[in-house]
Structure 1
Amino acid sequence: MSLEKVTKEIFIEILEVLDKKLQDNKLELTLNIYGGTVMMACFDARPATKDVDALFDTSPIIDNILVEIAETFNLDKNWINQDIREPLRHIKNENLKEVYTFKSLKVLAPSAEQMLAMKILSARPEPYRDFNDAEYLIEFLGIETLEEVLNIFNNYVGRKYLQERQKVFLNYVGKDLNKSWKEFSI
């Protein structure tokens, strides 16, 4: 049976093993992480994630390394995926910061503002954690007004992507956080 969740501690172990395997193969890699991995590893907003959403250059050697890591840590074969490519095509500004540095591996993650914009864009229902993550990020950033949220969304995504789903999502977030921002009429 595969490990169902990756904790921050396991994630760091995985990165250390990945770095060692990259060194052994005289390779360097930059891993851009997103989603639940960022919420777990950078914000400590959740204890674990089910997979690692990331962008990275791949090759047959890197693919083999990732399979070896899956076997070593008893992870699902899709423990790391690049499914984030689709939502990222809507991001007009990336704001990535280096969050982990090893000898042959760099790990970059989006800013809290970019993560908030991405969570609003996704606005998926449970069991996805977009709602909880957006609330966490709004509190983390000290945001009080809907206009602040919309400015962040516009900066990273653009208001043309603020559709009915995102408006309903923001209405619920505002209510849940007891914010006094004006609701969208849908």
Structure 2
Amino acid sequence: MINVIYIAKGKLIGAKVDERRLSVREPVELGWDANTFDIAMGQIVEKMQAGKVRILLDDAFSYLLRINVPGNLSEDEERKYISSRITDKIPEVLQDKDWDYKEIIFNISRGKDKDGTQNKEVIVFSPVKYLMDAITKTVVSLNLTVEAIEPVEISRTRNGNPLIGIALKEDIKGNDREVLNILIDKNRKEEDFKDVLSPENKNNQP
């Protein structure tokens, strides 16, 4: 069984997913807002009796981009190149840990650069930052292990039900180019979260 928590606007859904039978069991749904997110998360985790979860984000809380990159870059060069490309596409001040990417296709149809280098295509994922900070704060407080964080749009490529889709996710760990996953830094301190769900961000909440 895989424990999944789905975060949508105004609601949280926790469920156990049988990835072999492709079934969702014991769903629990609670409402949340900027003042109660951590409380609702704690109640969901308690009802599920979960120590390890996968978090599914509604597309409204996710940035998802497809970008063409030169095919002759090292992994470090590739990440730096992508970082420079997403700066003007994602309206957030992002640190390296706030986003991830995965190579999805060697796209011959894109042609070549001026130097003859074949291009390839990657998909970039970044959670909305204020929500990601709220998730991290709650995960640290609950001492919860998060295996994966993924948007609905990606999960549905494995199964029409995204709760099942994220349970089927296999690219959890591995080389940066091969895995699309956001890791949570559980070593962050309480003062790091003083601006989480600030009044400005609360105005954007359900």
TM over 0.5: no
Q: Which has a greater percent of helix?
A: 1
Give TM-score, length-normalised by structure 2. Answer: 0.24
Q: Which has a greater percent of strand?
A: 2
Q: Which is bigger in relative contact order (C-alpha 8 A, separation at least 6)? A: 2
Give TM-score, length-normalised by structure 1. Answer: 0.26
